[in-house]
Structure 1
C-alpha cells in the first residue's frame, strides 16, 4: 500500500504543469494576460524630387540664344522698299515728265496711254540708299514703246517716301538697249549704282547691239548721272 501511494504521488508531480497567469503556452499564445503591442517601424519622410526649371546644360556645348529677326526698317526710319512694290508704282515726275505721264501709275508692271504709248517695268531691280537720306530706295528700268519701232529703255530711281516708291530721277539709256543687271556693289562707293546693258558703237546700225556696257550712276535730281563706264564686245 505504501508503494502504491508513492507511485501515485510521483505521477501527480511529473504530470503536465498548469501555466501561470500571464505565462505563454507552448502554442505561442498568451494566457489571460494581453499581448504586448507590436512596434511600428518609424518611416523617414520621402524627400520630394525636384524638377529642374530648365534643361540641364551639357558641359562644353554653348547654349544658343535665338537672334532677333530683322524688322526690315531702314536707317532713315522708313521701311525699305521692295522690287515688288514697283509693279504698281507711280510714273509721275522724277524725270519722266517728257512722256506726259501726269497721274500715271503702273498696274502689274504695265501702263498704256494714248497713241500706242506702252510702258513696261523690266525685271532688273536693286534696293539701296542712292538719294542719301538713309532710307533704302529702289532703282529699276522701264521699256517705253511709242508706237513705232523704237523701244526706249530708261533707268529710274524711286525714292523711299515713308515706305512708298516715288519717282525721283531718271536717265535714258537709248533705243533698243536692254538692261542686263542693276546692282549696288557691296564694296562700292555710297550712293552709286552699277548698271549693265547692251548697246552699240557710234557707227553701228541701230538694229543691232555690239557692246556690253557697264556704267556707274549717281542721283542728281531729277536726273541720274553717269559717272563713268566701260565697254566689252558683245555678239548675240
Structure 2
C-alpha cells in the first residue's frame, strides 16, 4: 500500500471517529434535556383578570352600603322647622275646615301683609304671638291674636292656632275673646300643649267701654276650637 492510499485510509477512519463522537455527544444532550423538562413542569400562567367584586357573595356578613333615605331628611311633616310669627302675616285664616268666629261665613280668608278686608269686615293680625306644639306632632305650631272690626264700634279680639304642615301655617282652631278685649301676651307650654294668654277684660255687669280686669287664661286645642281650661283675674287700672 503506497503512501497515498495510507493517507486516504487514515482520513476515512478519522472522519468516522469524529462522526461517532459527535453522535454520542448529541445523544447525551438529548437525554439530559428531556430529563430536565420532565422534572420542571410548566407553571400555569397567572390570569391578568381581577375578580369581579360584584359577583362575590358575602353570605350576609358584609353588604353594600345603603343609600341615604330621603324621607328622613328635614322638611317632611313633623320634621319641619318651627313656624315663625312673621309667616302668619300672609297665612290663610279661614277655610272650609275651620270657621273663624266673627268673620263672614263661607268665605276663604287669608292675610295679605297681616290684613284682610271683605263684606264690610276688617281682620288684622296682632303682634302678640307664641310658637310651640299645640297639635301633638313634633313640629312647632303658632298661636296669635287677631282683631275683627265689623264696621260699628265693636272690635272683637280672638285667638287662632295655625298647625305646622311641613313648614306651612294652616288654620286649625280659633276662639273669640269678646268685644274690646286686647291681648297682652301669649306663651305656649309645649309639653302640655297649652297656650297661656293674658288679655284685658271686665266683669260681666260692666260696660264694654272699659277694661277693669287682667285675665290669665289657659287654652288647649280641640279642633276646630280652642277650649279654655281655666283662668284667673287680677284688677287692672288703665
For the 8 Å contact 2:181–2:199, the answer to whether it is kept is: yes
In structure 2, the residue matched to 1:153 is: 157
Matched, 1:206 2:211: no
TM-score normalised by L of structure 2: 0.64
- CA, structure 1 residues 152+101, in 2 after alignment: closer, same or farther (shift >3 Å)? farther
What secondary structure, in the 3-state scheme, does the structure 1 residue paired with 2:92 have?
coil
| Whole-angstrom CA distance in 2 between matches of 1:73 and 1:162 | 6
In structure 1, the residue matched to 2:132 is: 128
| Whole-angstrom CA distance in 2 between matches of 1:106 and 1:173 | 20
For the 8 Å contact 1:74–1:134, the answer to whether it is kept is: no
Where do 5+ consecutive residues of structure 2 fail to align? 1-72
What secondary structure, in the 3-state scheme, does the structure 2 residue paired with 1:86 have?
helix
Deviation at 1:135, TM superposition (A): 1.0
Deviation at 1:133, TM superposition (A): 1.4
What secondary structure, in the 3-state scheme, does the structure 1 residue paired with 2:199 have?
strand
| Whole-angstrom CA distance in 2 between matches of 1:170 and 1:99 | 14
In structure 2, the residue matched to 1:111 is: 116
In structure 1, the residue matched to 2:68 is: none
Matched, 1:177 2:162: no
Where do 5+ consecutive residues of structure 1 fail to align? 1-70
In structure 2, the residue matched to 1:28 is: none
Deviation at 1:96, TM superposition (A): 1.1
- CA, structure 1 residues 217+72, in 2 after alignment: closer, same or farther (shift >3 Å)? farther
What secondary structure, in the 3-state scheme, does the structure 1 residue paired with 2:87 have?
helix
| Whole-angstrom CA distance in 2 between matches of 1:218 and 1:140 | 14
For the 8 Å contact 2:132–2:189, the answer to whether it is kept is: no
1:218 to 213, 217, 220: 220
For the 8 Å contact 1:73–1:80, the answer to whether it is kept is: no
In structure 2, the residue matched to 1:232 is: 234
Higher helix residue share? 2
Deviation at 1:169, TM superposition (A): 0.3
* CA RMSD in angstroms, aligned pairs only: 2.1
| Whole-angstrom CA distance in 2 between matches of 1:136 and 1:219 | 14
Deviation at 1:99, TM superposition (A): 2.5
For the 8 Å contact 1:211–1:232, the answer to whether it is kept is: yes
For the 8 Å contact 1:217–1:224, the answer to whether it is kept is: yes
For the 8 Å contact 1:158–1:166, the answer to whether it is kept is: yes
- CA, structure 1 residues 72+129, in 2 after alignment: closer, same or farther (shift >3 Å)? farther
In structure 2, the residue matched to 1:164 is: 168
Deviation at 1:72, TM superposition (A): 9.2
| Whole-angstrom CA distance in 2 between matches of 1:170 and 1:92 | 10
| Whole-angstrom CA distance in 2 between matches of 1:72 and 1:228 | 37
| Whole-angstrom CA distance in 1 between matches of 2:83 and 2:76 | 9
What secondary structure, in the 3-state scheme, does the structure 2 residue paired with 1:102 have?
coil
